[in-house]
């Protein structure tokens, strides 16, 4: 019996055409991204132990000192990642102003309670744990910019919403980071935020205007501060590290020895020489040098390929997110990590001047590892809400 026959038989009953379900179902956690994170974390822990045991024996009379601490923080961060991945990332939008305030206060706390190491005041100590508040500021600013762009996307081409909030925020953060000084964090945060507002649709006229303002700020630093001398010393050491082989060029030279002596297949895991107290920061900023020495060119390329797959999958999640906030949040996180990876590898191979930037998943540092894995939790949360299929 057709619908018209039914209407004739029962005139008071209307048969409505059946509509397709338009509800969007969310996907599960992105398995490839999760596996890449786990793989990089595991390899990073292995390399940390290999790169740090000589230093741990000298300083703490325990070859397991650094790896035990790093593994402990990794376990805490891994559990935090799994927990955060199950929380709806969109809850962060409600607290964007609070998150911005906490990000600035984190840097102010360094001014008030910071401790000095290597002529820099970047750390505070809470309950015996030393960490850099700038790590919290990085993710805090990403959340702020993502929420602000999402909230005022239609007004991004105006001066009030398209340029002033970003310039104002970066000016405050920039001054606080410069006072530490923490130039690598400043460069990383500024570059990440620039990419975010560009992806967010900032008008070209404001991009150019912002570039002029940044140029003016750099000009001021060059003319009226010791900024140029600070940068110039690093540039000189980069161009010719052998001009001061026992001073500014020492670390670069030892790093190049490590990279070059690895050959094609490396000296073997645990058999590196430069970690025997020759290469400073061998377990931290220069840990990739030790990986090259022990795993060789083949091992180094495999690590780089893992990082490349990690970055590509991360941006895949970003551009398939359910909403604009998810896209901007993931773009910010992956841009920041991509820059860290590229810059760190470029520094240890002397492709660019020293910046003091760590290598994600590999460099020793407990709180930075926990923050990194929390960021991975946010990425997995975004991936959980990617629509599986849209019907209708």
Question: pLDDT digits over 217-238, tens only?
Answer: 766 665 666 555 666 777 777 8
Encoded tokens for 269: 């895991």
> In this predicted structure, what is the pLDDT of residue 237?
79
The dihedral over CA atoms of 281, 235, 357, 359, expressed in degrees to the nearest 10, equals -70
Encoded tokens for 130: 């030393």
> In this predicted structure, what is the pLDDT of residue 373?
96
> In this predicted structure, what is the pLDDT of residue 15?
39
> In this predicted structure, what is the pLDDT of residue 88?
92
Q: Which residues of 379-391 are buried (b: 16+ CB within 10 A; e: fewer)?
A: bbbbbbbbeeeee
Count, residues in the chain: 392
> In this predicted structure, what is the pLDDT of residue 238?
82
181: preceding bond cis by omega (within 30 degrees)? yes
> In this predicted structure, what is the pLDDT of residue 174?
84
Whole-model pTM: value is: 0.86
**Nearest-angstrom CA–CA distance, 293 and 298:** 11
The answer to whether the CB of 290 falls within 8 A of the CB of 47 is yes
**Which H or E run contains 314?**
helix 287-319
pLDDT less than 50: residues of the chain: 1-3, 6-22, 24, 390-392
> In this predicted structure, what is the pLDDT of residue 229?
60
Helices and strands in the chain: count of H runs, count of E runs: 14, 3
Angle between helices 134-151 and 96-113 (to 10 degrees): 160
**Which H or E run contains 387?**
none
């Amino acid at each position: 019996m057709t619908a018209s026959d039914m209407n004739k038989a029962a005139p008071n009953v209307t048969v409505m055409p059946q509509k397709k379900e338009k509800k969007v179902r969310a996907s599960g956690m992105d398995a490839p991204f999760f596996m890449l994170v786990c793989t990089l974390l595991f390899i990073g822990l292995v390399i940390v132990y290999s790169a740090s045991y000589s230093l741990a024996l000298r300083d703490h009379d325990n070859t397991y000192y650094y790896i035990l601490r790093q593994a402990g923080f990794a376990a805490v961060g891994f559990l935090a990642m799994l927990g955060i991945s199950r929380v709806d990332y969109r809850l962060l939008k409600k607290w964007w102003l609070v998150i911005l305030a906490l990000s600035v206060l984190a840097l102010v706390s360094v001014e008030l309670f910071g401790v000095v190491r290597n002529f820099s005041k970047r750390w505070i100590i809470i309950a015996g744990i030393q960490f850099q508040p700038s790590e919290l500021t990085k993710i805090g600013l990403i959340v702020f910019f993502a929420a602000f762009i999402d909230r005022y996307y239609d007004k991004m081409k105006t001066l009030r919403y398209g340029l002033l909030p970003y310039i104002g925020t970066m000016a405050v953060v920039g001054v606080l980071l410069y006072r530490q000084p923490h130039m690598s964090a400043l460069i990383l945060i500024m570059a990440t935020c620039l990419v975010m507002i560009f992806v967010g649709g900032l008008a070209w006229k404001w991009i150019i205007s912002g570039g002029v303002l940044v140029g003016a700020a750099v000009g001021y630093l060059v003319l009226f501060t010791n900024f140029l001398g600070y940068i110039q010393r690093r540039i000189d050491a980069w161009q010719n590290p052998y001009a001061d082989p026992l001073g500014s060029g020492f670390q670069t030279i030892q790093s190049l020895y490590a990279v070059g002596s690895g050959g094609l297949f490396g000296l073997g895991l645990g058999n590196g020489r430069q970690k025997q107290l020759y290469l400073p920061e061998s377990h931290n900023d220069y840990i990739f040098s030790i990986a090259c020495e022990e795993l060789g060119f083949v091992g180094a390329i495999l690590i780089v390929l893992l990082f490349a797959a990690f970055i590509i999958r991360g941006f895949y999640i970003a551009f398939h997110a359910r909403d604009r906030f998810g896209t901007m949040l993931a773009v910010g996180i992956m841009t920041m990590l991509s820059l860290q990876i590229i810059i760190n590898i470029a520094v240890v191979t002397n492709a660019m001047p020293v910046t003091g930037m760590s290598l994600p998943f590999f460099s020793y540092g407990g709180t930075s590892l926990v923050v990194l894995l929390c960021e991975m939790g946010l990425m997995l949360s975004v991936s959980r809400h990617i629509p599986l299929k849209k019907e209708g």
